[in-house]
Chains A and B, each alone.
Chain A
């Protein structure tokens, strides 16, 4: 379980408050206008940004002062998830050993992870030879190998077309369920939230609202959510 305890994030004029918890082993969507702080919140959970106040707890453990590598978290970015000069298998293998000294068993693990995301046999390619969707699949394969209980998605599929995005979301949902991962997913699309997120939290007006069941919340939007979704909601 991810708990945000009287958390305050501050960057210049920007300020975001959060005091809520996200369900373990489930997908939670973060929805809200651009610039509201959805990505900033993920950065703080991943350890890239120190909170001004309050703390982040994951699985009951206080994350304050912990380096990003020491947190039980994998984050997928919108782009630049892969190093362009490394081959696909090396990019995945970084999830096992940052110095890339892999033994035979680990190489087999890398191949299995690639097969899992539908990229069997592409290990020797370079990221530039892959499509945008394939590149994010590679990043997902690495996330699989890292076996961290929390997966943070900072719109990694936003640049993909609708069909491909749905496919990727289904892949993530399947993996998360099987691996019992807790997923936090930033999105602009109510449809994405409906597709895989049991609960959704609104990030707007400097505040992270506690998550609520996605369906009812989107069916009858109120307040800031109604404003964000528009009259047709």
Chain B
């Protein structure tokens, strides 16, 4: 932007951006201060905590490695094959993102648990049932969520290889080996480190999967240890120390991602396949068919199980505690999505008004790296002397959820805002448009659709979140995911399955309403 009146007239937008920035930084970084004060470093890190740190890094390494290794053949198959249902499968790859974690866990147990589909199939072959709890379950959960994410990132990478290079390869008669060496290998070297680090980061802050599938102290992560220290031992010093450890882990990873200098993409990855002359051999076809069938079954079976098991329970009627929880969930998710959207809008305005994109990157990564438990623990320590923190469970959850979905909302809003500025910024400058009218007439129209989409993501994420609410909730207050987790803990699996289906439908409905709302505003 070339200075002048337009630059000055941005000041209300800049103030909003500054306020949003201050709030986010205060929540993500400011909450560290009470942790530092409470941490009692003299006590050191005990053996149980050391084990939790080791397990956190160990499972995150394996989760990221497996997600990446399995995603490569799946993405390659999707990149070079056209088949009926391809578009649907690529869309399905986006679904786990909106799926409440605890719902996915229930679906995974229905397939991979002791009495699940896989165990029964093994039983027919005379083999013992599977035990899903422990390291295996944690990996299963993490791969379920991150295999689709990495696949989409890689699919984008394949799509970014110029069509000319495929034609060149065909003309030069390159076989699969040469194509891998000269086209796919270099692309993977670019994309994979970022994908691996991103998944590592997501898996090292994951809570619900470890809580529900970890199955005991042997598979306890730092996040879980914080939860236990606060919730069961009420050991604030230990929780604070663990919070700092968790923050340090995330900081290193985020710095790594920033150093790689690439956007941690959550992109669309929908680039159409190029005609491929190198993939006609029967072996390549068989491998691709296998990869596609594997991915489809791995993703669809648990989702199908949630529907098949949940539907009868939902029709038969859910336990009484579900309905108040539904009200709580909605009163968290909707305001949280709106808050997240407002923050994203203000921050997008701020980061696009400075020339460098680094601020946007750093903010996104800060949101990704911030652990809800670190923020929650910090808030807990601040609030504890003043009020009963458990009384503030709902506002705190709302606030933390809004910050947690901020990276994703910004991923959508920043490019839209940048486009709006590039397309109409100079025109608006030259017409002397400023302040509210500039926003209303020149900026907002270009943002309505992406805002609806971003709000939908934030609402679905908040609806399905089982994180900080577990830390703060008293027995009477619970969101839908927490209620579902409690039902599972009480072995009321029928009721849990019904609640899971309800939660799934509500998350998708919220996303749909926001997304449609954006489109409707755009048309009106």
Contact = CB atoms under 8 A, between A and B. Distances in A.
Interface of A: 43, 46-49, 67-70, 73-75, 77, 79-81, 83-86, 94-95, 98-100
Given A69-B172, A80-B162, A98 B275 contact: no
Interface stretch (B136-144, B175-183, B339-347): B175-183
A47 B170 contact: yes
Contacts of A69: 170-174, 277
List 7 A-B pairs, minimum CB-CB distance, nearest first: A69-B173, A80-B164, A68-B170, A80-B162, A77-B164, A98-B174, A85-B186
Interface in B120-170: 162-165, 167-170
A23 to B, nearest CB: 23
Chain B's interface: helix, strand, loop or mixed, by majority?
A: helix
Given A47-B170, A79-B162, A95-B172, 16 more contacts: A48-B167, A67-B173, A68-B167, A68-B171, A69-B170, A80-B162, A80-B168, A83-B168, A83-B182, A85-B182, A94-B172, A94-B182, A98-B175, A98-B178, A99-B178, A100-B178
Contacts of B183: 83
Nearest to B175: A98
A31 B180 CA distance: 37
A83 B173 contact: no
Contact of B275 (A48, A84, A95): A48
A48 B170 contact: yes
A75 B162 contact: no
Contacts of A83: 165, 168, 182-183, 186
Q: Which of A48, A74, A95 has the most B CB atoms < 10 Å from its CB?
A: A48
Interface residues of B, number: 20
B163 to A, nearest CB: 8
13 contacts: A43-B167, A46-B167, A48-B167, A48-B170, A67-B173, A68-B167, A69-B173, A77-B168, A80-B165, A80-B168, A83-B165, A83-B186, A98-B172
B187 to A, nearest CB: 10
Contacts of B182: 83, 85-86, 94
Contacts of A81: 164, 168
Contacts of B170: 47-48, 67-69
Contacts of A98: 169, 172-175, 178
A63 to B, nearest CB: 13
Contacts of B168: 77, 80-81, 83
Contacts of A85: 182, 186
A77 B168 CA distance: 9
A95 B162 CA distance: 19
Contacts of A84: 186
B419 to A, nearest CB: 25
Contacts of B163: 80
Nearest to A99: B178
Given A68-B277, A94-B172, A99 B177 contact: yes
A46 B178 contact: no
Interface in B175-209: 175, 177-178, 182-183, 186
A75 B173 CA distance: 13
B171 A73 contact: yes
A67 B164 CA distance: 16
A47 B175 CA distance: 17
